[in-house]
Structure 1
Amino acid sequence: MTTPGLAGAGRSFLGRAVLAEREDGRYVVVQARTDDAPALEGVQRACFPDLSEDEIATARHFLSHQAHFPEGQLAVLDTATGALVASSSDLRMNVDFAHYAHPYLKETGDNLFTTHDPRGEWLYGADIGVHPDVRGQGLATLLYGARHDLIRRLNLRGHVAGAMPKGYGAAAHELPIEGYVMAVVRGERRDPVLSVQLRRGYGVWGIIPDYLEDESCRNYGVFIVWRNPAWTA
């Protein structure tokens, strides 16, 4: 069944260009706008209750993201209600793979994206969140697909991010972070974040101590990389 307003080239929903959609048309990806900032903050707080107040993205931060790199700010809308239920935030940068271990706030300019480089060759995944009420419905997959489409469109080298190994907090008494990550890579353990990203074709490059303040991952990040197979020099 086709949802009205979504069929054909140049489809739209509520006057907004649709970048991706679930097969049944229930959820669509659009570019976030400035008037979405309060709803974006609401999704952020629902998704990351353990993040420190200094690291949570608020409406002020989302407005700054829009100012620096609007193309990299995506939102998922529920076509049945018009509600904003998921989002992702990205910026462009150049990556020194020999010195990748930076704290999240340094990498993102205190979460304001002042570090965005319009000529950066990599897309940096600062954030992705799906409201807990609608998880398990393929919304993160929609957002990742739209991000990869953006990478191809801009001819970027690929996508990098600091994944939060959110299962490590419960396993930290058993093994060090390096052992935990290797067990996840080998499929011996499942991490609610890292395992999903590995299935999407990302590879682990290294571990970032003190990446952010979140007890669920013991403040660690895992630097992950997806390389654009269509990239041309």
Structure 2
Amino acid sequence: MRKRLYVFREDGKPAEAIIRRYNEEDFEALIEVQRQSFPPPYPEELWWNVDQLREHIGRFPEGALCAEMDGQIIGSMTGLIVDMADYEHAHSWETVTDSGYIRNHNRFGDTLYVADICVVPAYRKTGIGKWLMQTMYETVVALKLRRLLGAGRMPGYHLAAGQMTPEQYVQSVMSGERRDPVISFLLRCGRTPVGIASHYLDDEESCGNAVLMEWANPFVYGEQP
């Protein structure tokens, strides 16, 4: 898979971008993308490592995507297929992604679960993150899965945690009272909030919470579980 498209820089000029599957030659660049995308207080130990990346391309290459611009990798997105009935009792990032190693990838599952999406800060206003998400939606359709699901960070929640619950915080973003960089981005990508995962990730800004956000495959019909 290799997709060529054009995005727009902040100065309004179009620039070519490429979205493709990542491979072993990209590992060092992918880890650098993580470093730039998730600075402290985000835990450094949660950045991808080489062993995890090797599992991604070996177990589910369709879910191992990266974006290139100006001759360098500027973003990535990683997913796996799961049966969510196996995880609803213990929905944490560590459990549902096998601590990022995705050895629990289940090709017979019905849900493409997003383990991670990131774009380096210098390129976030180009829309490349939205194109990565769109490409993963296309994977959901191609594989005839029921949906894409993932838990988004709530980096603005720590500023409001003393006044409202995580559910109330998400609702305040949905009503336009607040803006959260991650939740707002996922909404623009067509994702819909479907719940809160508590103790999802060791993330101080989100106070350990994450909002579960879904994209339902419009080509899958019939009764939904």
Normalization by structure 1: what TM-score? Answer: 0.86
1:122 equivalent in alignment to 2:111: yes
1:22 equivalent in alignment to 2:6: yes
CA distance in 1, matches of 2:15, 2:111: 30
Which residue, out of 84, 96, 118, partners 2:73?
Answer: 84
Which residue, out of 137, 141, 150, partners 1:161?
Answer: 150
User: Which letter maps to 1:219?
Assistant: G
CA distance in 2, matches of 1:163, 1:151: 18
Equivalences for residues 187-206 of structure 1 within 5 A = 187-206=176-195
Seen in structure 2, the aligned counterparts of structure 1 residues 98 and 42 have a Cα distance that, compared at 3 Å, is closer
Say whether the 8 Å CA contact 2:31–2:48 is kept in structure 1.
yes
CA distance in 1, matches of 2:197, 2:205: 15
User: Which letter maps to 1:75?
Assistant: C
1:214 offset after TM fit, Å? 1.1
Residue of structure 2 equivalent to 1:132: 121
Say whether the 8 Å CA contact 2:195–2:212 is kept in structure 1.
yes
Residue of structure 2 equivalent to 1:36: 26
User: Which letter maps to 1:215?
Assistant: E
SS at match of 1:215: coil
CA distance in 2, matches of 1:225, 1:161: 7
User: Which letter maps to 2:193?
Assistant: V
1:104 offset after TM fit, Å? 0.4
CA distance in 2, matches of 1:61, 1:97: 22
CA distance in 1, matches of 2:161, 2:134: 32
User: Which letter maps to 1:163?
Assistant: G
Equivalences for residues 85-100 of structure 1 within 5 A = 85-96=74-85, 99=88
Residue by residue, what CA displacement relative to the aligned partner does 1:134-181 show, whole Å, maximum 9, x if unpaired?
110111011011111111111111100011011111222232212111
Length, aligned pairs only: 215
Unaligned runs of 5+ in 1: 1-16
Percent identical pairs in the alignment equals 30
CA distance in 2, matches of 1:21, 1:59: 29
SS at match of 2:44: coil
SS at match of 1:26: strand
Say whether the 8 Å CA contact 2:33–2:119 is kept in structure 1.
yes
Which residue, out of 105, 121, 132, partners 1:143?
Answer: 132
Say whether the 8 Å CA contact 2:87–2:95 is kept in structure 1.
no
Normalization by structure 2: what TM-score? Answer: 0.89
